[in-house]
Amino acid sequence: MKSVLVSVGWLAAILATSAALSLAFIVMRPSMSAPWTRGPMIEVVSGGATLAAEGDERCPSNRIAYDRTRPNRLYAAGSVSDDSGRTWRPLTSAGVSVRFSEEALPPVPGPDGRLLVGGVQFQGPGAPTDRSAIAPAAEWRDGGWVPFLGSAKWPTDALASPADRRVRGLGYSPDGTAVVANAREIATFGGRSWPTPGRLTGALVSETGTIYVAIHEEGRFGLYRAESLGAPWVPVAGASGVDLLTEGAGAVLVISGMRLGRLDRGQWTWTDLPSSGQPQGLAAHPTRPLIAAWDGSQLLTSSDGGRAFRTSPLGFEVEWAAWDPFANDTLTLVDRNREVHQLSLQALP
């Protein structure tokens, strides 16, 4: 009887091992019928650095952005790293620092060492005491923070909805003008403003100065553009509901449902994305056709501008990602525990 039980146990172990190997083969086997494949294609080159110093709560946002003019310089809200995220220091001046909500947009580096951020609260002995203590946006310039108070039309009163007050887009025009958008208005730090073509969910100031806005309101949605600040709004043909919006390598990129759209020289190309989950973020390399999207612990990457994608499971939940503009294939990610990881992507087949 004992020998029978031992034999049964060995048989069960063999069957379990065989099943596990079969499952691993099925999970990692590339799909040949879709414009995306699944498999291991990332190599961790560093990781584990914390987004900010222990106990520093001034930078709760996990959204990061690289400076395109200084190698290894990385921003996260009001903190800066000069070693690609290994160590951080807050941007403070005269005892003033800024605090951000967890939903703050990623910072936007600008010319001459300037930095544009959204949704800030000024703190410290030298902080303002009036309504500018909480500002829709702020800019770091000349070693100090300058609050953006909005224009006369900016909805700051208690009757305005939080959705209308929240900043939906940040950017710099080619002449260095800092631009801030909420749901109903595009405005500058100089006090100029223009109405949007509808309630917008996101905005992009392109390198050429064209403004793109994603509109989503009852019975009306899509993508609109204005060739410059104050120019007429024109609908962009081919785009429907836009969930995510960014720019990379001279093209405007959107995610609409489970498709990625690429607008290049007035022409759209579309790629179906894996149906395993809705992407929560989108990042593009500024000069190379590298794209990344993510949903939880699943990473989607493309090395050909979005024509083909590969998915890879990660051992952590991705909160945000940014491409290193000075590297050919390095993607920096922040997980939900605020740890920074750098991944080197291999070439796609």
Question: What's the pLDDT tens digit per position in 259-287?
Answer: 999 999 888 999 998 866 789 999 999 99
Question: What's the pLDDT tens digit per position in 104-123?
Answer: 788 999 999 999 998 888 87
Do the beta carbons of residue 77 and residue 60 sit within 8 Å? yes
| 26 belongs to a structural domain | no
Inform me whether the pLDDT recorded for 58 exceeds 70.
no
User: Could you give the CA distance from residue 146 to residue 135 in angstroms, rounded to a whole number?
Assistant: 10
Do the beta carbons of residue 121 and residue 98 sit within 8 Å? yes
What is the average pLDDT value for the chain, to the nearest integer? 77
Pairing assessment for the beta strands 200-205 and 211-217 based on DSSP bridges: antiparallel
Q: Which amino acid is at 68?
A: R
Q: Which amino acid is at 59?
A: C
How many domains is the chain partitioned into structurally?
A: 1
| 23 belongs to a structural domain | no
Inform me whether the pLDDT recorded for 134 exceeds 90.
no
For residue 232, give its domain range. 34-345
- Exposure pattern of 21-48 as b/e (b: 16+ CB <10 Å)? eeeeeeeeeeeeeebbbbeebbeeeebe
| Cβ contacts of 75 within 8 Å, gap of 6 or more | 64, 65, 66, 67, 81, 107, 109, 115
Question: What's the pLDDT tens digit per position in 9-41?
Answer: 444 443 343 333 332 222 222 222 233 333 333
Supply the CATH number for residue 97's domain: 2.130.10.10
| 116 belongs to a structural domain | yes
Question: What's the pLDDT tens digit per position in 335-345?
Answer: 888 888 888 87
Q: Among positive and negative, which fits the CA dihedral 37, 42, 48, 49? A: negative
| 300 belongs to a structural domain | yes
| 108 belongs to a structural domain | yes
Query: Which pLDDT value is given to residue 79?
Result: 86
| 192 belongs to a structural domain | yes
**pLDDT classification of 230: cutoffs 50, 70, 90:** very high
| 28 belongs to a structural domain | no
| 245 belongs to a structural domain | yes
